[in-house]
């Protein structure tokens, strides 16, 4: 059985999130809390907050999305024409760095806000999803309440637009900024890595995939 980084990440989220549901000290020690980072140099919170979730529904939603997309992205990264044996390493690096990058705007906005706290893997999961859509833009997205598949690149445009709007609107407990910046980071990370290391022409592949009209084409390297 092939070693799966995605499965390890899912298990790690379960192992940290579930005990923290009923352990306020663990929750407070690991949650994203900008003043603690700025004043006490607790930089680890940029990472640890991504392994905490508010409740079972929050945890389940993020882990289903991660498991559904992550396995495919991990396999694609490991293709010989992309990153080969280093694919899993770059995949894990993308996930962890996305946790930091996705929360940096929130950090600077709330650096002195002693009432603000945030948690969840959404920023990293968004990076994984949009890395996949960068390479396979026609990847179908399906929602239980919508009876048709939505092409991935259409979903991506809607997702980023809605996240940006809701972030500007403010209110609520959902960090829409992390969704937006995580998704953007996933695209940029994949593009830069492909330009530097892969044999695949990302732009040509993207256009080929879109022109295929819903069919997922094999990569041409």
Q: What is the CATH number of the domain that holds 97?
A: 1.20.1540.10
**Does the residue 221 lie in any domain?**
no
Domain contains 59: yes
217 occurs within a structural domain? no
The confidence score (pLDDT) of residue 174 equals: 63
Q: Which domain, by its residues, includes 83?
A: 5-211
Does the reported pTM lie above 0.85? yes
Return the pLDDT at 165. Answer: 78
Residue 164 inside a domain? The answer is yes
Residue 220 lies in a domain: no
* Helix residue spans in 41-175 (DSSP H): 45-48, 56-77, 87-109, 122-135, 152-169
Burial category of 147 from C-beta neighbours within 10 Å (exposed 0-12, middle 13-18, buried 19 and up): exposed
Give the SS3 label for residue 149: strand
Could you give the number of structural domains in the chain?
1
**Residue 218: inside a domain, yes or no?**
no
Whether residue 37 lies inside any domain: the answer is yes
Q: Does some domain include residue 216? A: no
Beta pairing partners, 140? 151
* H helix count then E strand count, the chain: 10, 2
pLDDT at 65: 85
Q: What is the mean pLDDT of each run of 10 residues along the chain (221 residues)?
A: 91 97 96 96 97 92 87 92 94 98 95 93 93 87 63 77 75 73 95 93 89 77 72
Task: Tell me the C-alpha distance between 140 and 83, whole Å.
Answer: 24
């Amino acid at each position: 059985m092939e070693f799966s980084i995605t499965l390890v990440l899912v298990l790690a989220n379960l192992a940290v999130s579930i005990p923290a549901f009923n352990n306020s000290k663990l929750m407070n020690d690991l949650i994203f809390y900008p003043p603690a980072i700025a004043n006490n140099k607790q930089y680890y919170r940029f990472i640890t907050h991504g392994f905490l979730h508010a409740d079972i529904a929050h945890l389940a939603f993020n882990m289903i999305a991660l498991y559904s997309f992550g396995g495919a992205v991990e396999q694609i990264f490991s293709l010989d024409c992309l990153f080969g044996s280093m694919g899993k390493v770059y995949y894990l690096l993308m996930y962890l760095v996305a946790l930091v990058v996705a929360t940096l705007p929130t950090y600077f906005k709330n650096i002195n806000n002693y009432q603000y706290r945030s948690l969840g893997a959404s920023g990293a999961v968004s990076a994984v999803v949009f890395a996949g859509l960068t390479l396979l833009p026609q990847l179908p997205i399906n929602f239980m309440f919508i009876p048709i598949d939505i092409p991935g690149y259409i979903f991506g445009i809607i997702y980023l637009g809605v996240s940006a709007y809701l972030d500007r609107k403010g209110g609520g407990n959902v960090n829409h900024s992390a969704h937006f910046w995580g998704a953007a980071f996933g695209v940029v990370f994949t593009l830069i890595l492909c330009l530097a290391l892969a044999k695949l022409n990302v732009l040509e592949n993207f256009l080929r995939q879109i022109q295929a009209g819903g069919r997922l084409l094999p990569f041409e390297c």
